[in-house]
Amino acid sequence: MKLTLRIWRQAGPDAPGRMVEYEIDGISADMSFLEMLDVLNDRLILDGEEPVAFDHDCREGICGSCGVVINGRAHGPERTTTCQLHMRAFHDGDVVDVEPWRARAFPVIKDLVVDRSAFDRIVGAGGYVTAPTGSAPDAHATPVPKADAELAFDNATCIGCGACVAACPNGSAMLFTGAKIAHLNSLPQGTPERERRALDMVKAMDALDFGGCTNSGECVAVCPKGIPLTTIATLNREFRRASRPLW
């Protein structure tokens, strides 16, 4: 398979960036998208050029490290992580645009690598539970209704890749923050900090460069884990519940 790649190249956070065109040949349909970039980088290195910087780690769709905008869509044409996208989703002769996540809260570090530590700061504000450590709790000491467990698990599948922010016209992190709040607030283990979590995580999110939600739903269209739009409703409900006057 022969492709024309147009890739965003940016030497550093403050350097100007631009799309650079590369012709690439001999791409197998069985390669992953990242393996295709590996092939390109191998060639660039041997030609004495700077390879394209991109984030990746597990390449199994579970770590949330990878993620680029492919042909204008976060993670590309299929609803999956970039690492789980295969070249069979493309055709010989295609022109493929590859850009980093575009959001004010995710500044570009280099080429396709962005700084997503804003997510860490949101999680640091309340994405945890108080738990006694040091000895094993009795099994079934804390019963969890099946429906609650499933709701928590569905939201816990969020890997924090940032596609939701990249896809949102407002650069909003409400799907991500909602997933974290819905995950912990629907479990008994998360109850002690339930109100504070909702308030603190939303406050942290608002203090960063994320926009607000206007229900465009672009986030759920690209979320590789299928976090539903109702998660944002859960976030709003938890926030309102925690904000009620305390009289």
Partner 1 sequence: MPMRIYPAIHYTMGGLWVDYDLQSTIPGLFVIGEANFSDHGANRLGASALMQGLADGYFVLPTTINDYIAHGGRTDVPPDHPAVVRTEAEVTQRLTALLTVHGDRTVDSFHRELGLLLWDHCGMARNEAGLRKALDRIPALRAEFWRRVLVPGSGAELNQELEKANRVADFLEFAELMLLDALVREESCGGHFREEHQTPDGEAQRDDANFGHVAAWEYTGQEPVLHRENLRFEYVHPTHRSYT
Binding mask 100-139 for partner 1 (x = CB under 8 A): ---------xx--x-----------------x-xxxx---
Specify the residue, 133 or 215, whose C-beta has the smaller distance to partner 1.
Answer: 133
Distance CA 150, CA 211 (A): 29
Encoded tokens for 104: 């004010």
Residues in region 20-39 near partner 1 by CB under 8 A = 38
Residue 11 CB, nearest approach to partner 1 (Å)? 7
Residue 134 CB, nearest approach to partner 1 (Å)? 5
Q: Which helix (H) or strand (E) holds 205?
A: helix 194-207
Cα dihedral: 233, 238, 239, 242 (round 10): 160
Looking at residue 17, the DSSP 8-state letter turns out to be -
What are the C-alpha distances in Å from 240 to residues 137, 195, 202, 244?
33, 9, 11, 6
Specify the residue, 21 or 30, whose C-beta has the smaller distance to partner 1.
Answer: 30
Distance CA 158, CA 42 (A): 32
Residues in region 37-96 near partner 1 by CB under 8 A = 38, 42, 45-46, 48-51, 53
- Inter-residue long-range contacts of 40-49, CB under 8 Å, 24+ positions, other chains counted: 40/5
Specify the residue, 118 or 168, whose C-beta has the smaller distance to partner 1.
Answer: 118
Residue 182 CB, nearest approach to partner 1 (Å)? 22
Specify the residue, 46 or 147, whose C-beta has the smaller distance to partner 1.
Answer: 46
Specify the residue, 50 or 209, whose C-beta has the smaller distance to partner 1.
Answer: 50
Question: Mapping DSSP to helix (H, G, I), strand (E, B) and coil, where does residue 73 land?
Answer: strand
Question: Mapping DSSP to helix (H, G, I), strand (E, B) and coil, where does residue 114 land?
Answer: strand
Distance CA 243, CA 223 (A): 29
Q: How many residues bind partner 1 (CB under 8 A)?
A: 19
Residue 94 CB, nearest approach to partner 1 (Å)? 24
The residue ranges that bind partner 1 (CB under 8 A) are: 11-12, 38, 42, 45-46, 48-51, 53, 109-110, 113, 131, 133-136
